[in-house]
């Protein structure tokens, strides 16, 4: 039995406990809260049973779009009355979340269509297939069906129509063998990527080998490719598409101007636009754009090209089915500038663009296409969570969530929403069963934060056996006197105060009045039994610990920080409507010794106490160290004034580090509270002290079996310290300001294991990097955070959580212990079978996070998710999410480097991915030639994203990246959610010159490849950590003027870190884009200006993930070929 009491160590709830007053959350406190705050809550329908008919009391409420307006007053008061009837245990909480209820409670049952109505399955969905991909194949029964109208193109994830993308890849070579230059620009030669369709369905087509077409496509203008004579990489042969009839798609799906020009071989008689033939960009999403280039949606965002090309100039050759293709001359084509910027073009191609390539990059799955399709298909309707196993929109899509019994995807995302019923199936497909859980995720303003539920002195209602918390999946029986657990099937008696009659469908009458019976996410107030030592916790404390050694002073850090803290301390997190924060603060400075400060409010001046015996750290004062900011403001301000002066002339360069954490920990212990240490540190701690480190950086270890050492801590001291910190609820946030190696792998360990955040500002200078640091600090201090937390993931019979990835500590196999958990941290969980699952029952997941709020309130946040189960692998492959899969793979790999050579880790990733795709090919795709690469629709981006992970600095470092940066990135990624890993590994590249200054929208992103950049364009690239603006050297002068306020490209100052504030639409729009992007990410990104051909460009190019990189990372095209080869090997 893996299910244990959630907080066994804290004791089980005792029903007889008297006298617990949970911080004013009892019913008498509800009076002062406006009823409208609760009115809208009427409980979602129990829609996780796909056939359930909504039965909420207010189901007949008006059909106004629920998100556009707050619910009507009448509805609110009605609902509130219902909510409050019987008992008031669901009564309002005082949390800050409640303040948003009036605008954030859009859901009215019955006021909008059920999700399964909104996303009615379509008979077929050809348009899901980006037609820019070559030879997309719709397998099986769908292949005959005509495409639906563009406006109906979205089919639900549970659609019965398997879509398959097939790609005519048959690269015989490994991706390492192409002798192309490093800066290979595949697009310059539009010859390859041919996708002839086999004229006779079902007829086997031999796998083709590839010859080198002797002729290349020349470029018009001054840059001409040699017409012939240069050996080409093999041309991809076309997909045979056996079993697929030749019904052509309506030509209208293929707008002119979008045809990838690479169809140099095709079957005689095939028309453009036939299925299976490389066709234009998707009919949806982009189709409307070509006519509106002025709106920033030029025709090429998907990677097609602006030149209107005849699709057929080189289609003359009939497909012979022969294993090799005769080379043939091709007409010259313009194929270079992906943008519609006038003027600079043909004669400006960099020399490397003459490189030829064998596969058309436009013919392989495009991340941008998938992202844009999802936006247009799923961004318009709210995502209602009522249906079990529903795949949510992508993280890149802006959508509204309605909690109807399953948690929002902002809290939980899964790699698969339809789990294989047996472990044999799971082993066969190799798709990891994994969920990324972000328990305290910030919700947008128009979504209701979890309600707080109070079940009174007896605590939350739970299953007697497995201790799962009351949730919508529990089945009430015997007239409501008992409930059967959805997780372990045990029957538990309902306590009298929780009893309610059932309606004729067996549902409790109060189902929609109780969040825990109708919502996927909610909170319980925990009783004292859930508290450490059965004592209500004290409010947490923040301790600021500032390195005052020579480097920290010299860089301007100490002055900047002390000045900022004076105002920042007004923004400490506070509970709900509380006037001031309950968090107490304390201050320490240190170099080789530690200085504690007494800032008691009664003092006229702060007092310093020096502890130089750092071998056995203790806190020299109790009273006056941790104080209320408002009471001690004058003393604190005085201290913050004095610190920079006191140490201004310091010559001390040595620092300690271990004793600093120990001191903070001891202070929290003495105050009997949880809390967070903010440590601002600059150097490797070389001074004689516990936790002293030596410089052990050794880049020669890269690519050896000993490389793992670089990621491991150099001493076990910090492991032990981390354990103590977790036990106390002492979280450590680390702000590093190094000028050289500081051993992030070791220093960051306590941060990592206590759920803290790490920030790194290499070569920090207050003038240049101050903005970034202060923004990060502000966000870090203010963000929603829970302390002294334990997370437990329960599952229904058949699967269980077996592995966890993230920033936390685990002392047993089930409890994720977090000294603190903030709104940015995600934990990735892997599940394995321990029994069979059933298609009828599905699989249920319940994540319970017990934590202490910023005011010291003990709470449980519960997230529930129910998934489908299948006996056919095709159902699994239809309901996957690649972004989540990648999040898991990254975390698996980044943990793997601690114990394996990076090459082994990379090989394992490739191997597992190839198995996933090969299993699909073998079991789910319609029979076809091995020469075809066939990818499941939901995983068609797996190769491109996987390649980004493989090429990342952790797994395949170049010489320019430091050991510290690798350790730093490894640590950051480990707690990232799906949206963060998505953009981090495949950055967002926005064509600035196409932005529509009259719209709030961003221009459509382009693919991360140098070939997509126009010399006449300006681009913004961001990955959540870095932010660049790249300026092409032929950018029009008026655009340069309006953005940079200089007259020419040459005058742009690439050292600037902020755009000039100019009063013109272009400048305003770009600056607002930068602001919005920064606001979307947890870390402030410093802006870097990169001018084309400038030395900084190399750094920028490092983020063009579809290109080959200087560290040996394969281009997307080459990697796809490699994956294909791996898959073929597995199949043969």
For Zn ion, the binding residues (CB under 5 A) are 463, 465-466, 468, 485, 487-488, 490
Q: Which is nearer to Zn ion, 4 or 99 (CB)?
A: 4
User: By 3-state DSSP, what share of the chain in percent is helix, strand and coil, each rounded to 5?
Assistant: 30, 15, 55
Q: Which is nearer to Zn ion, 473 or 1119 (CB)?
A: 473
Contact assessment for residue 180 and residue 1108, using Cβ atoms and an 8 Å cutoff: yes
Q: Which is nearer to Zn ion, 5 or 113 (CB)?
A: 5
**How far, in Å, CA of 1019 to CA of 1017, rounded?**
7
φ, ψ of residue 744 to 5 degrees: the values are: -60, -35
- Give the largest CA-CA distance in the chain: 93
**How far, in Å, CA of 227 to CA of 330, rounded?**
9
φ, ψ of residue 844 to 5 degrees: the values are: -115, 140
Per-position b or e across 522-546, b if 16+ CB within 10 A of its CB:
bbbbbbbbbbbeeebbbbbbbbbbb
Q: Which is nearer to Zn ion, 754 or 814 (CB)?
A: 814
Number of H helices and number of E strands within the chain? 23, 29
Q: How many CB atoms lie within 10 A of CB 567?
A: 9
Q: Which is nearer to Zn ion, 487 or 1084 (CB)?
A: 487
Beta-bridge partners for 787 = 820, 852
Q: Which is nearer to Zn ion, 463 or 876 (CB)?
A: 463
Q: Please list, in sequence order, all residues whose beta carbon lies within 8 angstroms of the beta carbon of residue 1056, skipping any fewer than 6 positions away.
A: 1087, 1089
β-pairing verdict for 418-420 and 433-437: unpaired
Q: Which is nearer to Zn ion, 253 or 846 (CB)?
A: 846
Least CB distance to Zn ion at residue 403 (A): 23
**How far, in Å, CA of 1082 to CA of 983, rounded?**
12
Q: Which is nearer to Zn ion, 487 or 968 (CB)?
A: 487
Contact assessment for residue 877 and residue 938, using Cβ atoms and an 8 Å cutoff: yes
Q: Which is nearer to Zn ion, 465 or 669 (CB)?
A: 465
**Residue 323 CA to its chain's centroid (Å):** 43
**Residue 1096 CA to its chain's centroid (Å):** 28
Q: Please list, in sequence order, all residues whose beta carbon lies within 8 angstroms of the beta carbon of residue 528, skipping any fewer than 6 positions away.
A: 17, 20, 534, 535, 536, 858
Closest CA to 195 of 217, 168, 170: 168
Q: Which is nearer to Zn ion, 485 or 918 (CB)?
A: 485
**How far, in Å, CA of 992 to CA of 622, rounded?**
56
Is 91 strand, coil or helix? coil
Q: Which is nearer to Zn ion, 466 or 873 (CB)?
A: 466
Least CB distance to Zn ion at residue 517 (A): 16
Least CB distance to Zn ion at residue 486 (A): 8
Q: Report CA-CA distances (Å) from 67 to 399, 400, 942.
A: 11, 8, 34
Least CB distance to Zn ion at residue 872 (A): 29
Least CB distance to Zn ion at residue 463 (A): 3
Question: Scanning the structure block, which residue is given the tokens 């990379």?
Answer: 906
Closest CA to 906 of 935, 966, 948, 942: 948
Contact assessment for residue 560 and residue 799, using Cβ atoms and an 8 Å cutoff: no
**How far, in Å, CA of 574 to CA of 571, rounded?**
8
CA R_g for the chain: 30
Least CB distance to Zn ion at residue 405 (A): 18
Q: Which is nearer to Zn ion, 471 or 710 (CB)?
A: 471
Q: Which is nearer to Zn ion, 488 or 1089 (CB)?
A: 488
Is 820 strand, coil or helix? strand
Least CB distance to Zn ion at residue 491 (A): 9
Q: Which is nearer to Zn ion, 175 or 483 (CB)?
A: 483
φ, ψ of residue 626 to 5 degrees: the values are: -100, 120
**How far, in Å, CA of 221 to CA of 15, rounded?**
85
**How far, in Å, CA of 141 to CA of 146, rounded?**
11
**How far, in Å, CA of 218 to CA of 334, rounded?**
8
Least CB distance to Zn ion at residue 28 (A): 34
Q: Which is nearer to Zn ion, 474 or 594 (CB)?
A: 474
Per-position b or e across 1047-1056, b if 16+ CB within 10 A of its CB:
eebeebeeee
Least CB distance to Zn ion at residue 488 (A): 3
Least CB distance to Zn ion at residue 843 (A): 14
DSSP string, 1081-1114: SSSPPPEEEEETTSTTHHHHHTT-TTS--TTSPP
Q: Which is nearer to Zn ion, 486 or 1088 (CB)?
A: 486
**How far, in Å, CA of 944 to CA of 1105, rounded?**
9
* Residue 51: exposure state from Cβ atoms within 10 A (0-12, 13-18, ≥19): exposed
Q: Return left, alpha or beta for 1093; rule: phi > 0 is left, psi -120 to 50 is alpha, else beta.
A: left
**How far, in Å, CA of 750 to CA of 807, rounded?**
10
Q: Which is nearer to Zn ion, 465 or 633 (CB)?
A: 465
**Angle ∠(236,237,242) on CA atoms, nearest 5:** 140
Q: Which is nearer to Zn ion, 461 or 684 (CB)?
A: 461
């Amino acid at each position: 039995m893996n299910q244990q009491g959630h907080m066994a160590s804290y004791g089980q709830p005792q029903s007889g406990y008297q006298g617990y007053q949970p911080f004013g959350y009892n019913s008498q406190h509800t009076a002062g809260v406006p009823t409208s705050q609760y009115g809208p809550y009427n409980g979602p329908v129990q829609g996780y049973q796909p056939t359930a008919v909504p039965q909420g009391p207010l189901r007949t409420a008006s059909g106004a779009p629920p998100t556009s307006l707050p619910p009507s007053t009448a509805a609110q008061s009605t609902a509130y009355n219902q909510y409050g009837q019987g008992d008031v245990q669901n009564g309002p909480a005082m949390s800050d979340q409640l303040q948003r209820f009036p605008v954030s409670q859009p859901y009215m049952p019955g006021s909008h269509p059920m999700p399964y109505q909104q996303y009615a399955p379509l008979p077929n969905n050809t348009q899901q297939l980006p037609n820019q991909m070559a030879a997309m194949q719709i397998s099986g029964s769908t292949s005959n069906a005509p495409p639906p109208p563009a406006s109906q193109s979205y089919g639900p994830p549970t659609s019965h129509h398997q879509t398959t993308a097939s790609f005519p890849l048959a690269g015989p070579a490994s991706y390492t063998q192409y002798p192309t230059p490093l800066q290979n620009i595949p697009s310059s030669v539009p010859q390859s990527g041919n996708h002839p369709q086999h004229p006779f369905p079902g007829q086997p087509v031999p796998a083709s080998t590839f010859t080198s077409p002797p002729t290349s496509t020349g470029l018009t203008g001054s840059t001409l490719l040699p017409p012939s004579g240069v050996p080409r990489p093999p041309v991809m042969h076309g997909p045979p598409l056996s079993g697929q009839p030749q019904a052509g798609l309506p030509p209208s799906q293929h707008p002119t101007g979008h045809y990838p020009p690479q169809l140099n071989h095709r079957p005689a008689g095939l028309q453009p636009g036939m299925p299976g033939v490389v066709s234009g960009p998707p009919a949806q999403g982009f189709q409307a754009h070509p006519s509106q280039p002025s709106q920033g949606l030029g025709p090429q965002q998907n990677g097609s090209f602006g030149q209107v090309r005849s699709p057929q100039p080189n289609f003359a050759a009939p497909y012979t089915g022969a294993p090799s293709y005769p080379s043939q001359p091709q007409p010259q084509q313009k194929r270079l500038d992906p943008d519609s910027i006038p003027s600079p073009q043909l004669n400006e191609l960099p020399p490397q663009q003459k490189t030829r390539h064998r596969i058309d990059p436009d013919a392989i799955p495009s991340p941008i296409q998938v992202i844009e399709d999802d936006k247009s298909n799923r961004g318009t309707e709210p995502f209602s969570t009522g249906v079990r196993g529903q795949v949510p929109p992508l993280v890149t899509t802006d959508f509204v969530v309605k909690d109807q019994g399953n948690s929002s995807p902002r809290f939980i995302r899964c790699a698969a929403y339809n789990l294989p019923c047996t472990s044999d199936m799971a082993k066969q497909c190799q798709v990891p069963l994994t969920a990324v859980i972000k328990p305290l995720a910030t919700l947008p303003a128009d979504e209701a934060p979890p309600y707080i539920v109070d079940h009174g002195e007896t605590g939350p209602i739970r299953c007697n056996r497995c201790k799962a918390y009351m949730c919508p999946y529990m089945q009430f029986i015997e007239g409501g006197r008992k409930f059967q657990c959805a997780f372990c099937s045990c029957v538990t008696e309902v306590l009298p105060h929780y009893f309610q009659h059932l309606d004729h469908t067996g549902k409790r009458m109060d189902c929609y009045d109780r969040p825990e019976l109708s919502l996927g996410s909610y909170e319980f107030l925990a009783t004292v039994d859930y508290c450490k030592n059965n004592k209500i916790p004290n409010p947490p404390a923040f301790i600021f610990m500032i390195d005052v050694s020579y480097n920290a002073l010299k860089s301007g850090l100490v002055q900047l920080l002390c000045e900022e803290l004076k105002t920042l301390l007004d923004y400490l997190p506070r509970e709900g409507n509380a006037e001031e924060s309950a968090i107490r603060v304390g201050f320490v400075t240190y170099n080789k010794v530690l200085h504690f400060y007494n800032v008691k409010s009664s003092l006229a001046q702060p007092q310093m106490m020096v502890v130089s015996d750092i071998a056995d750290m203790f806190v020299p004062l109790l009273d006056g160290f941790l104080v209320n900011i408002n009471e001690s403001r004058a003393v604190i301000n005085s201290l913050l004034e004095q610190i920079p002066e006191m140490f201004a002339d310091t010559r001390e360069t040595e620092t300690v580090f271990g004793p600093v954490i120990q001191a903070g920990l001891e202070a929290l212990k003495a105050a009997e509270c949880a809390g967070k240490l903010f440590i601002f540190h600059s150097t490797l701690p070389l001074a004689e002290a516990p936790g002293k480190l030596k410089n052990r950086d050794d880049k020669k270890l890269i690519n050896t079996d000993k490389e793992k050492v670089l990621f491991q801590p150099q001493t076990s001291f910090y492991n032990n310290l981390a354990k103590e910190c977790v036990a106390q609820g002492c979280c450590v946030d680390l702000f590093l300001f190094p000028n050289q190696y500081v051993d992030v792998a070791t220093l960051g360990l306590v941060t990592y294991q206590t759920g803290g955040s790490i920030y790194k500002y290499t070569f920090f200078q207050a003038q240049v990097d101050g903005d970034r640091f202060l923004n990060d600090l502000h966000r870090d201090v203010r963000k929603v955070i829970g302390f002294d937390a334990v997370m437990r993931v329960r599952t229904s019979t058949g699967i269980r959580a077996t592995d966890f990835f993230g920033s936390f500590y685990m002392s047993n196999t089930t409890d994720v212990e977090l000294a603190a958990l903030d709104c940015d941290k995600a934990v990735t969980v892997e599940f394995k079978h321990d029994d069979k699952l059933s298609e009828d029952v599905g699989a249920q997941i319940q994540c319970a996070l017990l934590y202490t709020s910023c005011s010291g309130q003990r709470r449980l946040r519960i997230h529930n998710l129910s998934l489908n189960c299948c006996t056919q692998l095709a159902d699994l492959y239809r309901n996957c999410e690649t972004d989540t899969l990648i999040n898991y793979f990254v975390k698996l790999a980044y943990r793997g480097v601690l114990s394996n050579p990076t090459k082994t880790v990379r090989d394992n990733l490739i191997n597992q991915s190839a198995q996933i795709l090969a299993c699909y090919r073998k079991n789910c795709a319609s029979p076809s030639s091995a020469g075809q690469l066939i990818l499941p629709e939901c995983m068609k981006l797996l190769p491109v994203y996987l390649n980004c992970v493989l090429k990342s600095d952790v797994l395949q470092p170049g010489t320019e990246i430091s050991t510290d940066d690798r350790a730093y990135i490894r640590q950051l990624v480990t707690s990232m959610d799906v949206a963060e890993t998505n953009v981090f590994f495949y950055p967002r590249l926005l064509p600035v010159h196409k932005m529509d200054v009259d719209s709030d929208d961003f221009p459509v992103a382009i693919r991360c490849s140098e070939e997509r950049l126009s010399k006449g364009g300006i681009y913004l690239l961001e990955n959540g950590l870095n932010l660049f603006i790249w300026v092409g050297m032929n950018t029009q002068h008026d655009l340069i003027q309006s953005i940079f306020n200089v007259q020419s490209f040459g005058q742009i100052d690439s050292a600037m870190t902020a755009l000039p504030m100019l009063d013109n639409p272009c400048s305003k729009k770009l600056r607002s884009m930068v602001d919005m992007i920064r606001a979307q990410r947890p870390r402030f990104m410093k802006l870097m200006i990169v001018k084309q051909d400038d030395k900084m460009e190399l750094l920028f190019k490092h983020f063009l993930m579809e290109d080959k990189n200087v560290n040996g990372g394969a281009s997307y095209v080459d990697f796809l070929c490699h994956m294909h080869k791996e898959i073929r090997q597995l199949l043969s």
